[in-house]
Copies of this chain bind each other. A is one copy, B any other.
C-alpha cells in the first residue's frame, strides 16, 4: 500500500483548484445548509472546470478528509477539517458598515460598571451575529487591594469588604461565634485596611500573631478574603443570546446538550481561556474537545490590555456558521473593549 502521503500530512496545502472547490462547497453549504453537488460547484466563478472534473477532485478531497458524503448519491458537506482549511485560508474580512456603526454607537453610549458593560456587550454580540456570545471579563488576580473594611451587620455578623484597584469589590460575610463590640469592629477594620492596602489577591499577607478579639477578627477577615474565591479567579462570565442555540440546530437533543455545556460556566471559561492566548481563533467541532459541542464552532477574540490577554469575547454557532462575519465582529468588539479598558488603565496611570 505505498501511496502518496497526501493523506497523512497534517499541514497539507491544497492545490489552487482543490482549494477553490473546497471553498465553494463550504461557502454554499454555509449558505444553504444542504449537501453541495458537483454541478453547483462547477458553476462557481472561481472553479471554472466541468462538473465531472469537480467530482473527481471531490473524491480526492473526501479521501483526504475535507469533505464527506451523508450518503451515496448525495452532495458533499465539509468535515471539521474542511471547515478548518476554509478558516485558515480566509482572508481577513472587515465588518459591514452598518455593524461598524452599531458597534461604535454602542460603545459611545454604554456606561456604568464594568460588569454591566460586559453583560450588555454580550447582548450586542449576539444581536449582531445571531449567535450565542460569551464574554469573559478580566480576572483580577493582579489587582491590588485599595481599601478593606469590616462592617458591623449585627451582634454576630460582620461583612468584610475589599475594594480592588480595578474597581471590583469583594465581600465576605463573617458569622461570629461571640459578640463583638462596635468599637472592636471599627478597630479591626482600620487595622485590616492598613494591613491589606497594596496587597494583591494572590499573595499571602503576614499577620502579626497577637491575641484577643480584634486580632481574631482580623485573622478571620483576612482568611475570608484570601481563601474563599467565589468564582474561580474571580472570573466574570456573561452569556448572551443563549436562545439562539435553538436557531442553530435542528434537533432538540443537540440544543439540549449545547445548553448543558453553556450552563457550566466553569467549562465555558476554561474553554475560552485555553483558546484565547492564541489570538483571534476559531475552534471547530471536535477541536473543542467536548462531545456535546461536536456540532459547534467557536470564534474567540482575546481582549488584550497592555498586550496581555485579560479577557475574551466568543461567539458560538453551528460548524456551518458565518466565519468571516463572526471573526470580524468578535475582532471589532474585542478591540473596542480593549480600548475601553486600556483607556481606563492609562487614566489610572
Binding site for B on A (CB under 8 A): 112-114, 116, 146-147, 149, 151-157, 159, 161, 163, 165, 167, 169, 171-173, 228, 230, 241-247, 249-253, 255-257, 259-260, 262-263, 344, 347-349
Q: A interface, by DSSP: helix, strand, loop or mixed?
A: mixed
Tell me whether A151 and B146 are in contact (CB under 8 A): yes
> Which B residues touch A159, using CB under 8 A?
146, 163, 167, 169
Tell me whether B230 and A112 are in contact (CB under 8 A): yes
Tell me whether A146 and B153 are in contact (CB under 8 A): yes
The 5 A-B residue pairs with the shortest CB-CB distance in the complex, in nearest-first order:
A154-B348, A246-B256, A243-B259, A147-B151, A243-B260
Shortest Cβ gap from A112 to chain B (Å): 7
Whose C-beta in chain B lies nearest to the C-beta of A197?
Answer: B151
Shortest Cβ gap from A113 to chain B (Å): 6
Tell me whether B167 and A153 are in contact (CB under 8 A): yes
Tell me whether B256 and A347 are in contact (CB under 8 A): no
Number of copies: 2
CA separation between A243 and B251, bound complex, in Å?
A: 13
> Which B residues touch A251, using CB under 8 A?
252
Shortest Cβ gap from A129 to chain B (Å): 15
On whether A171 and B348 interact (CB within 8 A), knowing A147-B151, A163-B161, A255-B246, the answer reads no
On whether A347 and B242 interact (CB within 8 A), knowing A149-B147, A252-B255, the answer reads no
CA separation between A149 and B190, bound complex, in Å?
A: 13
Tell me whether B230 and A153 are in contact (CB under 8 A): no
Whose C-beta in chain B lies nearest to the C-beta of A250?
Answer: B252
> Could you show 11 A-B contacts with beta carbons less than 8 Å apart?
A114-B173, A146-B153, A146-B159, A147-B151, A154-B349, A155-B347, A161-B163, A242-B259, A242-B263, A247-B252, A249-B252
Given contacts A157-B347, A159-B167, 14 further A-B contacts (CB under 8 A): A112-B230, A146-B152, A146-B153, A146-B159, A149-B149, A153-B167, A161-B161, A161-B163, A169-B169, A243-B256, A243-B259, A245-B259, A246-B246, A255-B255
